Every structure is written in C-alpha cells, then in structure tokens.
Chains A and B, each alone.
Chain A
Amino acid sequence: MDSMITTAKTAPSLQDLAAQALDLARRQGASAAEVNTGLGAGLSVTVRKGEVETVEHHRDKSLSITVFFGERSGSASTADFRPQALSEAVMAACAIARHTAADPYNGLADPAHLARDIPDLDLHHPWPLSMEEAIDLARRCEDAAFATDPRIRNSEGASITTHDGTDVYATSDGFLGTVRASRHGISCAVLGEDGNGSMQRDYDYAAVRDPRDLPAPEEVGRSAARRTIRRLGARQIKTCQVPVLYEAQVARSLVSHLVSAISGPSLYRRSSFLLDSVGSALFPAWVHLYEEPHRKKAMGSAPFDGEGVETRYRDLVTDGVLRRYCLDSYAARKLGLVTTANAGGVHNLMVAPGQEDLTGLLRQMGRGLFVTELIGFGINGVTGDYSRGAAGFWVEGGEIVYPVEEITIASNLRDMYKGLVAVGRDVDARHNVCTGSWLLERMTVAGG
C-alpha cells in the first residue's frame, strides 16, 4: 500500500481553522489571541533481524489557543477540529483567563518585530515512500550492520521514518504564518557480544529535510555496528581528574545547558547559574556561538519564532563573551529587554568549528577520557553543578586504548565552559544545536 502523505490540500483549511478560533475568541470578549495549529502525517517502519517488526502510520493534528483579556491569559488545546470541539477549546481558554492573575507583561509580540516576508527555507521535501520501499531500506541498513562484524549478534532493529507537516501561527493582530516542513530519518541500533557473554549496544542515525540528502542505509548500519563493536570489553577506571573529550553528539548537550541557563524563565525566576552574565567572558576568547535560523534545509531552521517574531542571524557568544540572552516577548518585557526571537527555543545554534578533526583532538588531549555517551540527569541549573553517568574510551598518547563504562564525570558548568580547550571541525548537523567535539581541560571521573 502506498503511504498517504499529502498535506497540500490541508494548508488552507488550517488557516481557516485558525481564523475561526481567533474569531470565536474575539466574540467571547478576548482583547487578543494567538493560535498554533498543525497537521502532519508520517510513516515509520522498523525491521529487526531481517523481519518487519512494526509499521506505524502517524497522523497528528493539534490546535492550541491562548487568549488575553487585558493582562489576564488562559490557554487550551484540542486534537479535535470539529466546530463544537473548537468552540469548547476557546471557551475553556477564556474560562481559565477569568481566574488567572493580571500580568502586565502578558500579550502578543510587538508588531514591529513580526516577520513580514516569510522566506522559503527549503524545508519541505515530501518522500513518496511506500511501505515496501521503507521495509527494503530498513532491511539493507540492518543487514549491513550484521555483515560488518561477526560479533554483532543481535539487534534492536533498523528504522525508516518520514514525516510531513504544516504548521500555522496566527494572531488577532493579523499575523498569519505557515510553515511546511518534512523530516526523514534512518536509524539502526545493534548489539555486540564479546567472548565473556557481556553485551554492548550502540546506534547511529541520519536526520534530514530532503530524502535525497540521506546517506545510503548501509552506511548508517555499518557505523552503528562499528560504534557497538568498539565498546566491547568496557571496564571501569579508577577515580581521577583528567582532560575529557566530548564527542560532537554529546557535546551538544553542553550547549543546551547553556541555552537553558540564559533563557527567560531561568533568568526572571533567578534560578540560573548564569544570572547577569551578559558581557562576561564565559568561554576562552576564541569561542564563537551564533544562531543562523535561515540556513536552507537545516533541521533547526525557521522563518519566524513561536510568536511570529522575525528570526535572523544573531551572535550569542563572541570573543568568549556572552552577548545576549535567549528570550521570548514575555521574558524580554519582564527583564526590560527586547525579544531575541527565541520563543520556542533556538534555531540552528552553531558553535564555530575549530581546526582539528576528532583524531587531532584525541592527539591534543594526549591522556584522558573520550566520552561518547551520557546517561542520567545530574545537572543542577541553579548552581551549575554537573555529574552524569558516562561511557567512552580511555586515551593514552593520543590513541584510544580501551573502552570505559560505569563511571561518572563531574564538575561545574561554569568551570567546564571556562576550561574549553578546543572545538572540533567534526560538526554534527543533525539537530538545531550544531557543534563539533569539545575538549575540556579537566573533570573529576569517578570509578572503582
């Protein structure tokens, strides 16, 4: 059966729906309102040990509305688009607004900041993929993983996913923005077993906007297998303080902790370890972070933020100094600042790459820990204290010596940022935060 991924005819109806919801809110007496509504469809297929394991057909649909009665607000959402459900959602939002407190910072974004021209960011490339084709790609991916090494004996499967959606944001001020975007992926997770019967698992994946940009499925499968095999025979190490190299895909989390600490709510609640830090040198002077929301086809691209504010290139850290916070209109008004178009998060936050590739960074580290996986949630955003479970490799003389597991790595995020020694040019571009690997001066590794 062919999958049924078409949204072309639905875009106008989402806009009508948003208009209806706004109209209902106005008739209830709301002084302003905003609507987010979306419709999407997708297919996800998993093959495990050569056999189809799951075939999932996705259809997502949602509408959420926030109403303002002067300085009071209320919100509601529904997945049911029938007139009665829509009207109930609007009434529910209005009912809530009768009970919430007046907040002078409430309201829509300043019209002066709204996106006027909505650029085409080349995000929409539907993949007319049949179930049979998807199964075939997943099978090729997993087969390649098994063929890579005889120690790959088991699998969690290989998956092919495709999704195509339309999102509309509309306000009572007359803003109406529509974004159509697709995303497609190949992923594979396999298990390896060594002579002692101990098992390891690892994975790899690709995520793109345009199916023509996907790597061959075999490439993803082989990489997943290699990542698993290299972990076999992992052991604990003794507690020590050493340099730590974060592989690009885990280094990204360090940028996310930064974003969270300089985001509106953490600041106005004064619950961040980076209060009042704009203008201070959080990083060494060579560090440069910037947001590039209009990159064509990128995973984090968006023509406007979650409240219609125009996105554009913006520096975040230059010469190691934090230049701004990440704010939406509400937080900005509360802090006496201007929105940075970060309602809903950052859009392609890039860490400027350095000169070295991963091999070069390992050599630069010499002796220390190379981290490829993190587990747990040991981050205190109020103090910056950091302690997470890790797995990776012990490095001597710039070379990987053996795999390591059952350890934690700990420090304070402030010290970690200050102690950034190098960023690799091995940029992981699969997310809205893109960075190469990070070499940190020193952390406490706890082991046996």
Chain B
Amino acid sequence: MTTETFHNRNLDRAREALLTPAGIGTGEIDQVMGRMLGHQIDYADLYFQYSRQESWSLEEGQVKSGNRHIEQGVGVRAIAGEKTGFAYSDEIILPALLDAATAARAIARDGREQTAAVATRDGGALSLYQPLDPLLSLDDTAKVALLERVEQEARRLDPRVTQVMASLGGSQETILVVRSDGVMAADVRPLVRLNVTVIVEQDGRREHGTSGGGGRTDYGYFLTEERALSYAREAVRQALVNLEASPAPAGAMQVVLGPGWPGILLHEAIGHGLEGDFNRKGTSAFAGRLGDKIAADTCTVVDDGTLPGRRGSLNIDDEGTPTQSTILIERGVLRGYIQDRMNARLMGMAPTGNGRRESYAHLPMPRMTNTYMLAGQTPPEEIIASVKKGLYAVNFGGGQVDITSGKFVFSASEAYLIENGRIGRPVRGATIIGNGPDVLTRVAMVGNDLALDSGVGTCGKDGQSVPVGVGQPTLRIDGMTVGGTEE
C-alpha cells in the first residue's frame, strides 16, 4: 500500500465517520471558517474526533469489571498573534460549530464575518500503523481469558504471589483536522495496553512489582511471542527482587541507568524543557540556548514520532502536520525544539509534528512523541565494571520536572548497589534528583544497547495526558543525587 492511498483512505474514513452523518460538507466548513477569519485572526482550525475505548480489569482471579466509553466532538480554535480563542462542542452539528466559532473568535476585537473558501488540500501523512479496531480484534470472552491466563501465570511462578491485578485497555480514535491554510488531514489511531501488578508476601513483609506494554496495534500483539505472559513474569520477578531490597543510600554518587524505560530521564530532564511554548515564553531553563553545548559529546537525543506501531507515534499530529524525527541534542550540542504550529510560527521555526492534544475539548500544545538517546559504543558490562561504588537503576515509576529551575526527579522501582564493578544487593526507595541543563554533561559512558520502553508511558502537562514513548542505552552519570534514607 502506498502512503498516498493509505492516507486518502483515512481521510475518507474520517469524513464518513465525522462529517457525513452531520451533513457537514465543504460549504458548511467554509461557513464556520468564515465566521472566524476576520482581519485579526491569523489562523483557525477545527478538530473533529470520534473515539471508542474500553478497559477490562482483573483482581482476585476474576475479571469483575469492564467499561466502555464513547466520545465525540469538535474543538474550534482561532489564533490572533499570541492570543488563542477556544471553544468546543460534543455535538457535531452546524449550529454548535457556528456557536463555537463565534466564541473562539471573540479574542480578536474586530472579528468581522467574511466569506472564506477553504480550498482543502492534502497535508500528507505517514503510515506507521493500520487503521485497526482493537475493540473488535478479540471477542469479549477471549479478552477475559487473556487476563485470566496472565493471572494464572503470575501465580504459577511463585507461591509468595498473593494478589494479581491485571488490566487490558484498547481504543480507536478517528480524527480530522481542517486548517484555515487549507490543509485537511485525518488519522485513524488504534492503541492497546496491558498492565500487570503483583503483590508478594513473605514473613509479613509485602512488596509489589509492575509490568506491561502495548502500542498502536490490536490485541493480537499480546498473544504473539507470549507477550502478555512475559509481563506477568516480569512483574513477579521485580516484586521478588524488591522483597529482598534494603533501604537505598542517600547522597551524591555514580549512577548507572539501565536501557529502555529509564529513558524517562531524557523525557523529564531534557524533553519538557525543549518544548516550544516554554522556550518562546522564556520560562524554560533551556531558553535561548540553541547551539550551546549542554551534554557530553557521546549524547545524541531525538524525538521521533515516526517509529512504526509505537505508543508515542502518530501519522500526523493533532494539527495535521506529519510527524518526523527531530534532533534535540546532537553530539552534546542543543539543536532543536519540540514545536506545534503556533509556537513554531511565533519563533520563526518550522513545526516538528509535535502539536498534540488530549481530545477535542483541549487545546493543542507542543508535546513529545518517542524521546530517546542514540546508542554509543560501550558494552553495558564494561559500564558497570567501571563503577567502584554506585547505584544501578533499571526500572522506574514516574518522574516530574520544574521547567524553570530545571530540577527533575524520577523514582526507581528496581535498583541495586554497585560495589567494585559488580552488581550487589537490591535497594528500595531510591528517588533520583538532578538538574536538566547539566545532567547530560555528567554522562561518562554511553552503552551500545539502545532499547525503547515496552509501551506504557503517559505524559501529563497542563492537565492533559497523551501517550508517549522513551528509550536509551545503558548510561553512566557521575555525581547524581540519590534520595534514599541511609546516610
């Protein structure tokens, strides 16, 4: 299938799902745009969305609850300089669209009615995933059975497993963007995930472990290569490690981060600070630093929305821009920002396909897709062998950053001490804190084992959640502050 036919099919599909039932055609779109494009409005867009999602959850060996949710609506945005007017409606009908347009354009004082003829053209799109419907990819009995197998696998592995919580979720989102510059673009986005948490208990002590994965595909993904079962095994393994863990040390030390999900470091320490809105407004610790050396020579970091099938990937962003691979840091030098259309325009830069929104009821913002560091040269064993005393952290819970001061934290859910070049006893409760603009200057070694996460990441910003991915090779970072309890 060529890219073009794939794209046109998505556009047809989206029109049929979103516009045809409401009797909205070219004339109606022009009428809505016309209401906004007075002389002070530079740009306007309409974002139509229809999504269906479901979730099934298991505890105590049984799937006891399930939920389905259907959502549709249209968001209407008008921009005048740095001002944005926004309104939305959960009814896709012409009067609601016109009302929303009137409310949105009110930011410009002289929003005079005009006739707009938006000669729509194709904005282009990638074909990184098929327009699958995950909800229909398995029958409901099989979804329940899948979760039951995950539970049985976890319990089979170790008698110390006392609880298994597993959930399966899927969604299909059809979106259509119409822009005042004439671009009309559409996407049909499947997304699935499976999560497992286990509780283990021994001699009155309890711990937990969590694992999971997913991507822009259907439920068949979990049935291949025993993926679902492998999540159960991983959750049990992690929980049992933590059962043996002692309190983490406190203070500055060498830290080795494992490959894959620990790339949350890049997301928090670097990624958010390079989002266009914060840099345009000068509120990021990275503002005005393009071209500066902010990392070791061995560090090249990209944000790449074009990885096939991955959770953070998109054929087009939520403003109809095809996604791309954007170099953020190239051999240690800050090269680029993460941009949506408005911030790119105001900064005189090109959009990077990172304009994303949680739904039609939210405004788009520059957001990450899949953010990762390219592989280096060093085998991971050599990196661990180089550390006399330090921390080896391989799994993490959440992280957070203060954009302005640059300080970020992320909390290890599986970590070990390194003593004399060897991995030693496991430790618990290790939160790591650092300073975004200088943490990568402390990268001493970069592994040759780049891995991406398994597909469970969700990023929150201004109250909006979007699915993202992260990745990195094994890294040694010198002088990071580890926040355990043992002095």
Interface residues of A (CB under 8 A from B): 1, 48, 51-61, 73-80, 85, 88-89, 92-93, 95-101, 103, 106, 131, 154, 156, 191, 198-201, 231, 234, 236, 239-241, 269-271, 373, 375-378, 380, 382-383, 385-389, 391, 405-412, 444-448
User: In this assembly, does B428 line the interface, its C-beta being within 8 Å of a C-beta of chain A?
Assistant: yes
Do A96 and B83 have beta carbons less than 8 Å apart?
no
Closest to A379 in B: B411
Pick the residue among A51, A75, A389 that contacts B409 (CB under 8 A): A389
User: In this assembly, does B399 line the interface, its C-beta being within 8 Å of a C-beta of chain A?
Assistant: yes
Closest to B482 in A: A446
Pick the residue among A74, A77, A446 that contacts B69 (CB under 8 A): A77
Kindly provide the distance from the CB of A191 to the nearest chain B CB, expressed in whole angstroms: 6
Beyond the given A1-B103, A200-B405, A447-B481, could you list 6 further A-B residue pairs with CB under 8 A, ordered by the A residue number? Answer: A48-B281, A59-B87, A59-B90, A99-B143, A269-B163, A406-B433
Pick the residue among A96, A97, A198, A387 that contacts B485 (CB under 8 A): A387
User: In this assembly, does B27 line the interface, its C-beta being within 8 Å of a C-beta of chain A?
Assistant: no
Kindly provide the distance from the CB of B85 to the nearest chain A CB, expressed in whole angstroms: 5
User: In this assembly, does B404 line the interface, its C-beta being within 8 Å of a C-beta of chain A?
Assistant: yes
Kindly provide the distance from the CB of B138 to the nearest chain A CB, expressed in whole angstroms: 11
Kindly provide the distance from the CB of B21 to the nearest chain A CB, expressed in whole angstroms: 11
User: In this assembly, does B325 line the interface, its C-beta being within 8 Å of a C-beta of chain A?
Assistant: no
Do B65 and A73 have beta carbons less than 8 Å apart?
yes
Stretch at the interface among B199-207, B376-384, B464-472: B199-207
A241 to B487, CA, bound (A): 8
Write out the residue numbers on chain B whose beta carbons fall within 8 Å of the beta carbon of A106.
64
> Known: A96-B140, A241-B487. Is A78-B69 also a contact (CB below 8 A)?
yes
Write out the residue numbers on chain B whose beta carbons fall within 8 Å of the beta carbon of A382.
199, 206-208
Q: Which among B62, B247, B283 has the greatest number of chain A C-beta atoms within 10 A?
A: B283
Do A408 and B409 have beta carbons less than 8 Å apart?
yes
Write out the residue numbers on chain B whose beta carbons fall within 8 Å of the beta carbon of A200.
404-405
Closest to B50 in A: A80
Closest to B79 in A: A54
User: In this assembly, does B127 line the interface, its C-beta being within 8 Å of a C-beta of chain A?
Assistant: no
Contact indicator per residue, chain B 62-95, by CB within 8 Å of chain A (1) or not (0): 1111111111110000000011111111110000
Write out the residue numbers on chain A whose beta carbons fall within 8 Å of the beta carbon of B410.
376
Pick the residue among A98, A236, A377 that contacts B397 (CB under 8 A): A377
Give the interface SS of chain B, mostly helix, strand, loop or mixed: strand
Q: Which 3 A-B pairs have the closest CB atoms?
A: A408-B483, A389-B409, A101-B62
Number of A-B contacts (CB under 8 A): 256
Contact indicator per residue, chain B 412-450, by CB within 8 Å of chain A (1) or not (0): 000000000000000011110111000000000000000
Do A269 and B429 have beta carbons less than 8 Å apart?
no
Write out the residue numbers on chain B whose beta carbons fall within 8 Å of the beta carbon of A73.
64-65
Closest to B428 in A: A385
In this complex, how many residues of chain B approach chain A with their Cβ under 8 Å: the count is 81
Q: Which among A98, A239, A391, A447 has the greatest number of chain B C-beta atoms within 10 A?
A: A239
Sample (16) of A-B pairs whose CB atoms are under 8 Å apart:
A1-B106, A54-B85, A57-B88, A80-B72, A269-B163, A269-B165, A270-B206, A376-B398, A376-B409, A377-B399, A387-B430, A389-B409, A389-B431, A408-B409, A408-B431, A448-B251
Pick the residue among A61, A191, A380, A409 that contacts B283 (CB under 8 A): A191
> Known: A78-B71, A410-B250. Is A55-B163 also a contact (CB below 8 A)?
no
A387 to B411, CA, bound (A): 8
A444 to B481, CA, bound (A): 13
Contact indicator per residue, chain B 245-278, by CB within 8 Å of chain A (1) or not (0): 0011011100000000000000000000000000
A209 to B143, CA, bound (A): 44
Do B428 and A383 have beta carbons less than 8 Å apart?
yes
Do A80 and B90 have beta carbons less than 8 Å apart?
yes
Kindly provide the distance from the CB of A308 to the nearest chain B CB, expressed in whole angstroms: 19
A407 to B481, CA, bound (A): 7
Do A56 and B87 have beta carbons less than 8 Å apart?
yes
Write out the residue numbers on chain B whose beta carbons fall within 8 Å of the beta carbon of A270.
162-163, 199, 201, 206
Write out the residue numbers on chain A whose beta carbons fall within 8 Å of the beta carbon of B398.
376-377
Write out the residue numbers on chain B whose beta carbons fall within 8 Å of the beta carbon of A78.
69-71
Do A378 and B431 have beta carbons less than 8 Å apart?
yes
Closest to B407 in A: A406
Do B64 and A74 have beta carbons less than 8 Å apart?
no
A199 to B283, CA, bound (A): 8
User: In this assembly, does B285 line the interface, its C-beta being within 8 Å of a C-beta of chain A?
Assistant: yes
Closest to B85 in A: A55
Do A199 and B483 have beta carbons less than 8 Å apart?
no
A53 to B86, CA, bound (A): 11
Do A377 and B482 have beta carbons less than 8 Å apart?
no
Do B90 and A61 have beta carbons less than 8 Å apart?
yes
Pick the residue among A92, A239, A271, A407 that contacts B487 (CB under 8 A): A239
Write out the residue numbers on chain B whose beta carbons fall within 8 Å of the beta carbon of A412.
485
Closest to B73 in A: A79
Do B481 and A376 have beta carbons less than 8 Å apart?
no
Closest to A272 in B: B206
Write out the residue numbers on chain B whose beta carbons fall within 8 Å of the beta carbon of A448.
251-252, 481
User: In this assembly, does B211 line the interface, its C-beta being within 8 Å of a C-beta of chain A?
Assistant: no
Pick the residue among B56, B144, B165, B250 that contacts A239 (CB under 8 A): B250
Contact indicator per residue, chain B 162-192, by CB within 8 Å of chain A (1) or not (0): 1101000000000000000000000000000
Do A375 and B402 have beta carbons less than 8 Å apart?
yes
Write out the residue numbers on chain A whose beta carbons fall within 8 Å of the beta carbon of B162.
270
Do A100 and B407 have beta carbons less than 8 Å apart?
no
User: In this assembly, does B400 line the interface, its C-beta being within 8 Å of a C-beta of chain A?
Assistant: yes
A241 to B408, CA, bound (A): 22
User: In this assembly, does B361 line the interface, its C-beta being within 8 Å of a C-beta of chain A?
Assistant: yes
> Known: A89-B70, A375-B407, A388-B431. Is A446-B64 also a contact (CB below 8 A)?
no
Query: Which residues of B from 11 to 43 have beta carbons under 8 Å from A?
Result: none
Write out the residue numbers on chain A whose beta carbons fall within 8 Å of the beta carbon of B143.
99
Closest to B67 in A: A75
Closest to A384 in B: B429
Pick the residue among B59, B84, B431 that contacts A53 (CB under 8 A): B84
Do A408 and B481 have beta carbons less than 8 Å apart?
yes
Write out the residue numbers on chain B whose beta carbons fall within 8 Å of the beta carbon of A88.
70
Pick the residue among B86, B102, B247, B252 that contacts A55 (CB under 8 A): B86
Do A406 and B411 have beta carbons less than 8 Å apart?
no
A152 to B69, CA, bound (A): 45
Do A389 and B66 have beta carbons less than 8 Å apart?
no
Kindly provide the distance from the CB of A161 to the nearest chain B CB, expressed in whole angstroms: 12
User: In this assembly, does B484 line the interface, its C-beta being within 8 Å of a C-beta of chain A?
Assistant: yes
> Known: A52-B107, A234-B405, A387-B485. Is A378-B84 also a contact (CB below 8 A)?
no
Q: Which among A79, A95, A156, A198 has the greatest number of chain B C-beta atoms within 10 A?
A: A79
Do A59 and B89 have beta carbons less than 8 Å apart?
yes
Write out the residue numbers on chain B whose beta carbons fall within 8 Å of the beta carbon of A383.
206-207, 428-429
A36 to B175, CA, bound (A): 28
User: In this assembly, does B363 line the interface, its C-beta being within 8 Å of a C-beta of chain A?
Assistant: yes
Do B71 and A79 have beta carbons less than 8 Å apart?
yes
Kindly provide the distance from the CB of B139 to the nearest chain A CB, expressed in whole angstroms: 9
User: In this assembly, does B401 line the interface, its C-beta being within 8 Å of a C-beta of chain A?
Assistant: yes
A359 to B265, CA, bound (A): 38
Do B72 and A79 have beta carbons less than 8 Å apart?
yes
